[in-house]
Amino acid sequence: MGITLPILILAMPFFMFLLLGLGGVKMSRKVAGVLGILGMGTTMTLAYIVAFTYFFSGDAAFIIDGVRQQFQVFDVTWLAFTERLVVKIGFLLDPISAMMLVVITTISFMVHLYSWGYMESERGFQRYYAFLNLFSFSMLGLVVATNIFQMYIFWELVGVSSFLLIGFFYRLPSAVSASKKAFIVTRFADLGFLLGILTLTFFTDTFNFVDMTSNPMNVLAQTGGATFMGASVLTWAMVLIFTGGMGKSAMLPLHIWLPDAMEGPTPVSALIHAATMVVAGVYLVARMFPVYCVVEASMTFITVVGAITAFYAAVVACTQIDIKRVLAFSTISQIAFMMVSLGVARDGMPGGEHYSGLGYMAGMFHLFTHAMFKALLFLGAGALIHAVHSNDYTKMGGLRKYMPITHWTFLIGCLAIAGIPPFSGFFSKDEMLAAMFNNNWIWGAWMTMVAGLTAFYMFRLYFLIFWWEENPNYKHHRPHDAPWQMSLPLIILAAVSVVAGFIPFGELVTWNGVSYHIHLEAPVAVTSIIVALCAIALAAKMYMRKNTLPEKFRKAMPGLWTAAHHRFYWDELYIFITHKIIFGIICSAIAWFDRHVIDATMDGFAKVTQKVSFAIRGLQGGNVQAYVLWYFFGAVALALITWICLL
């Protein structure tokens, strides 16, 4: 494969970003929108060509004896600081990056198309498209990174574009504070990422992923068994790197930014905060997977964090009123699902060769399907918000008659996420659960419960929006389906969500490139289907027709409901820690020192200088005789000093 197409994939969105960002003001909305959509369409086509060439051409560069190879299309030196510290920019093609190329460009194209309808009347339409292209560029650069430093650079770039897009409605104070929150929290996590990179590469002498992952035992050997505070240095490095992933993927306790990030435009939430950027953490773990495999402790850490987060987010999602918040917590929960799936995967599992890296494959599979149906759900939510001008389900209800396209596509999304066959979510979730059961039945049972909760809260949302009772406001303002630019992506994504499960994913994406034949594990599949159906039935019973069951339920457990509704007070905890402890105690002491010692010293200099100046300004009175007198006394004083010294 030549380097033209891969470079174009990166260059196209960046070029569009510059074009729309610099020249957008001069363009009409229509021109800017069409340009953006065409640019992203081109990028998508190129990405498809590259991905399909990689998967299906059978070229010896890509596949040897049925084993898929990692292929660096190019890897050029960008910054050579020292002999050892060389930053390169490259393009790595391997199963997961090819898959991510498809996911990112597809969702991004859908969002571009959708936004044309959704953002039509907003200020800064051109700026919005420029930011979307910047994000696409950064995300593509992230997934094709050949080395961890390149990944870090693009990692920060997606952070910036996320910041810009969350704060897109910069006149809303809530959007501004949400963007700041997202940026600061992820930036804080990235500090851990950077420390991890430095720790790891200090020992490995290389930033390159292929060098590191092709021989993880060598990485382990290079650290030489160095330990720090009871854990090996490699464990520390891998856990710190995972911290970056925790920030971007909104794992507990760094999840607090994602629900607030819903202040951004809904298509942005679909693209960045559901399908692509937030799975960067999962992608990072997958990218470094062989190295993680040799550090048991870091894998356990990932699993535990993922399992807790998945459950926590699912419970919170049951009590949210804002539909985008429900979807946000659902996203957190689903990403945590993928994390657990990666965390339980190992090289050489009990149960034979078959299970090696099953969790990896399943996690990537779920990443793929989840991107599709979660983008669908978000775009559907966008259509709903567009129709009723509110984020709260209390302003909705009974919408199925008014918005049939939205209704059916949303239902497909809900079925997919709930794991009902034959929708895509079922297949990926089933593989993940199989991998978890294979590792330890506790993880399997726990995550099956989370899957049940997922089905429950999604259908609670579905029924409350489309059934329940009709909102009386519809008489004044009759909701209707969105224009074609918005409906078309919904239909396409719904179709993908239906069929994506049948993609032979195991043949394409596995951790070691050896193809894997997916087959359903009957006990796991049946269990999860039964759990999901029960949850859906419960949701239908409680929310399909207007009744008092939810109210009774809520009255029965007021403490739990309130706590979950307030997201178990994580935000308050953060506020307490930052404001009361850090600002209140530590910072005020430092501030006191700053004000009374450092500033006071400087003020003192200024004051003394000023006082002295005032005191001696009479000397410069323009009086020659006074000058002569001072000069004369100075000379006398010098003479006296000389005399004293000579004595």
Q: Which of 441, 562, 633, 641 binds other proteins (CB under 8 A)?
A: 633
Under rule CB under 8 A, residue 591 binds other proteins: no
Rule CB under 8 A: which of 396-435 touch other proteins? none
**Torsions phi, psi for 73 (to 5 deg):** -65, -45
Under rule CB under 8 A, residue 218 binds other proteins: no
Under rule CB under 8 A, residue 639 binds other proteins: yes
Under rule CB under 8 A, residue 618 binds other proteins: no
Q: How far is the CB of 616 from other proteins (least distance, A)?
A: 17
Q: How far is the CB of 645 from other proteins (least distance, A)?
A: 14
Which one, of 195, 98, 92, lies nearest residue 150 by Cα?
92
State the CB neighbour count (10 A cutoff) for residue 64. 11
**Nearest residue (CB) to other proteins, 593 versus 633:** 633
Q: Give the integer Cα–Cα distance in Å for 32 and 325.
A: 30
Under rule CB under 8 A, residue 629 binds other proteins: yes
For residue 533, the number of C-alpha atoms closer than 13 Å in the C-beta half-sphere is 8
Under rule CB under 8 A, residue 484 binds other proteins: no
**Nearest residue (CB) to other proteins, 586 versus 637:** 637
Which residues, other chains included, contact 471 with Cβ-Cβ below 8 Å and sequence gap of 6+?
388, 395, 396, 397, 398
Identity at 479, one-letter amino acid code: P
Under rule CB under 8 A, residue 547 binds other proteins: no
User: Which listed range, 261-269, 358-366, 542-550, 626-634, lies at the site for other proteins (CB under 8 A)?
Assistant: 626-634
Q: Which of 622, 644, 645, 647 binds other proteins (CB under 8 A)?
A: 622
Q: Give the integer Cα–Cα distance in Å for 536 and 232.
A: 46
Under rule CB under 8 A, residue 623 binds other proteins: yes
Tokens of 85: 């510290």
**Nearest residue (CB) to other proteins, 225 versus 622:** 622
Q: Give the integer Cα–Cα distance in Å for 423 and 414.
A: 10
Tabulate helix, strand, coil % of the chain (nearest 5): 75, 5, 20
Under rule CB under 8 A, residue 621 binds other proteins: yes
User: Which listed range, 76-84, 394-402, 555-563, 620-628, lies at the site for other proteins (CB under 8 A)?
Assistant: 620-628
Q: Which of 25, 191, 590, 636 binds other proteins (CB under 8 A)?
A: 636
Under rule CB under 8 A, residue 640 binds other proteins: yes
Under rule CB under 8 A, residue 600 binds other proteins: no
Under rule CB under 8 A, residue 624 binds other proteins: yes
Q: How far is the CB of 596 from other proteins (least distance, A)?
A: 43
**Nearest residue (CB) to other proteins, 351 versus 634:** 634
DSSP 482: P
Q: Say if CB 144 and CB 97 are below 8 A apart.
A: yes
**Nearest residue (CB) to other proteins, 582 versus 637:** 637
Which one, of 248, 245, 242, lies nearest residue 277 by Cα?
248
Q: Say if CB 50 and CB 93 are below 8 A apart.
A: yes
Q: Give the integer Cα–Cα distance in Å for 159 and 181.
A: 12
Under rule CB under 8 A, residue 632 binds other proteins: yes
Run of H or E residues at 259:
helix 257-260
Which residues sit at the interface with other proteins, rule CB under 8 A? 621-625, 628-629, 632-633, 636, 639-640
